[in-house]
Amino acid sequence: MPRDTRSAEKPVGVIAPPGDGVVRTRDGVSGPSQQSIWRNRNFLLLWLAQAISQTAQNAIWFGIVILVQRVSNSSTQLSLAVLTLIIPSVVFGVLAGVYVDRWDKRTVLIATNLIRGAIAFLYAGFGLVAHLPLSLLLVINFVFSTVGQFFAPAETAMIPAVVPRSRLLQANSLFHLTFTASQLVGLVVLGPLLAKVGGVDGLFVSMSAAIVLCGALVWPLPSSRGGHDPRVPATEEEAIRGVWQDVRDIWQFVFRDRVVALAMVQWTIGAILGLVVATLVPGFAERLLHVHAEDAVFVMAPAGIGMVAGTALLNRWGERLEKHFLTNLGLFTVAACLFLTGGLAFVTAWLTQANPPLIEMPTLGEVSVLVPPIMLLALIAGFGFVAIMVPAQTFLQERAPVGLRGRVFAVQLMLSNFASIVPLLLLGGLADLIGVDSTLLLIGVLIAFAGAVSVRIAPGEAPWRQRHARVE
């Protein structure tokens, strides 16, 4: 879920129960309280609510993918399902922040958790009631995601109400880490586990209960209703004007600097690529690898391992590599992995589906013998993905003025969600028309072309050339 990156307002008249470890004045949290955030009861309640609700939400998204794949067996329908979860962040994200700035954050957190929990329970109806239209699921997706747009900014704005200023950096870092970890746990661990143990219906029911529990967790938090902060928009019209002004400012900043423009494009390509591949994987696994849709995540799990390992390696040795060289290497690595994945499946299908078959391929139990090499390619692609995203993000962080930095990343996220709409629709339909394997081949070619353009604009310098230059 996209996060609200604006500065939270300073809460006025915060009422806190005694003994929460935070020193307060009439204007909110103040004074340097040296107590650890781990001994701050209100912070722990807010953090637990975030960890549980974000993990549950990602598990629900996994369940939605499985449900749509089972009902439709269509990449197009799966693309539409993903879009109905993305579009609300583009349409309502900023406006939701405007209202949250004017409402009591505690009330918003309670209400959004209870409403999202009730909506999540509706997904179970698709397993309990036969022949429900898929269009109903798309409507539920849209409403579920729209309500979530109010949860994220309220959660972020509540942190300064329960944490003293001296602990804000530590608290925000923990929230960011938890947000990232919840994606991995929800999509790769908890979602598949619950789908295996209790079925998709059991997944939806249990995660619905978990989100409702989060409403109870935030109940004891202090109320934070106060006067309007003049730094944030007071009306929807001001918010919309502010967004367009931000877009214009960032457009001018980006296109004055070729390096920044290239980094923005590279980061957007990576973000769109992640969504597109996640949409195509279930169909690819079922049709070509003979792996159930709910098990497809295990085939692609090495990509997550590659991303984690790649991030660790970049933290250790990334400074030794020129960033343009790294992003170009990442683009060609991902392109090669996608091309080989699609190519292996295409050639295997051509050899085995002829009449009579040209070759009899061995199997690994009930699944295709291609599963191990595909998992290896996924691992390598994970390294390549990190090599694209991390240097691109670093370029933006290094070159963006401090006063524009927050807006750059907020607009960057909004625009990447917006830019993903057309590729998701086109490539989902194309996968149904020509096959997922051929579509992956095409995506590999397109990413390789993007890599060639990137090399043309900013070739970078290979590490062995850097060493040769130092020797000379």
Q: Domain of residue 166: give its range.
A: 24-234
Q: Indicate the number of domains in the chain.
A: 2
The token pair that represents 451 in the structure block? 């890599």
Same domain, 433 and 396: yes
**151 and 59 in a common domain:** yes
Going by C-alpha positions, the residue among 171, 86, 154, 65 that lies closest to residue 115 is: 154
Per-residue pLDDT of the chain (472 residues; tens, 9 = 90+): 444 443 333 333 333 343 444 444 444 444 444 567 788 889 999 999 999 998 999 899 889 988 888 888 888 888 899 889 888 888 887 677 767 777 888 999 999 999 999 999 999 888 777 778 889 999 999 999 999 888 888 887 788 888 887 777 777 767 766 776 787 788 777 888 888 888 889 999 999 999 999 999 999 988 866 544 455 555 556 666 666 776 677 677 777 777 888 888 888 888 888 888 878 888 888 888 888 877 777 787 888 888 888 888 887 776 777 888 889 999 999 999 999 999 998 888 888 776 666 677 677 777 788 889 999 999 999 899 988 988 887 877 777 776 566 566 666 667 777 888 888 888 888 888 888 899 999 999 999 999 999 998 887 766 656 555 454 5
Domain containing 69 — which CATH number? Answer: 1.20.1250.20
**Signed CA dihedral, 215, 217, 219, 221: sign only:** negative
In a domain, 423, yes or no: yes
Q: Is residue 94 part of a domain?
A: yes
In a domain, 16, yes or no: no
d(CA 13, CA 20): 16
Residues 260 and 147 occupy one common structural domain: no
| Residue where a domain terminates, one of 209, 234, 259 | 234
The three-class DSSP label of residue 98 is helix
Is the residue at 153 inside a domain? yes
Q: How far is CA 462 from the centre of its chain?
A: 31
Task: Tell me: do 282 and 211 sit in the same domain.
Answer: no
Same domain flag for 376 and 449 = yes
- Same-domain pairing of 318 and 435: yes
Query: Are 258 and 223 part of one and the same domain?
Result: no
- Tell me the C-alpha to C-alpha distance, in Å, between residue 456 and each of 267, 328, 449, 461: 17, 10, 11, 13
Report the distance separating Cα 154 and Cα 403, nearest Å. 23
Identity at 198, one-letter amino acid code: G
Same domain, 278 and 423: yes
Any domain includes 75: yes
pTM: 0.72
Nearest-10 crossing angle of helices 75-91, 41-72: 150
Domain boundary residue, one of 210, 234, 258: 234
DSSP state of 368: E
* CA 7/CA 157 separation, integer angstroms: 8
Please answer whether residues 328 and 456 qualify as being in contact, where contact means their C-beta atoms are separated by less than 8 angstroms: no
Pair (197, 90) in one structural domain: yes
Q: Are residues 77 and 208 in the same domain?
A: yes
Residue closest to 64 by CA, chosen among 16, 14, 134, 13? 134
Does any domain span residue 9? no
How many angstroms separate the Cα of 182 from the Cα of each of 1, 174, 175?
Answer: 11, 12, 10
Same domain, 160 and 283: no
In a domain, 271, yes or no: yes
| Domain co-membership, 431 together with 457 | yes
Question: Distance between CA 259 and CA 396 in Å, rounded?
Answer: 9
CB-count burial class (<10 Å; 0-12, 13-18, 19+) for 456: exposed
Between the CA of residue 372 and those of 209, 340, 341, 363, 435, what are the distances in Å?
A: 37, 13, 11, 11, 21
The domain boundary, picked from 195, 215, 234, lies at 234
Cα separation, 155 vs 37, in Å, equals: 16
Has residue 12 been placed in a domain? no
Is 291:299 a contact under the CB 8 Å cutoff?
A: yes
- Report DSSP state, residue 400: S
Helix (H) or strand (E) holding 309: helix 296-317
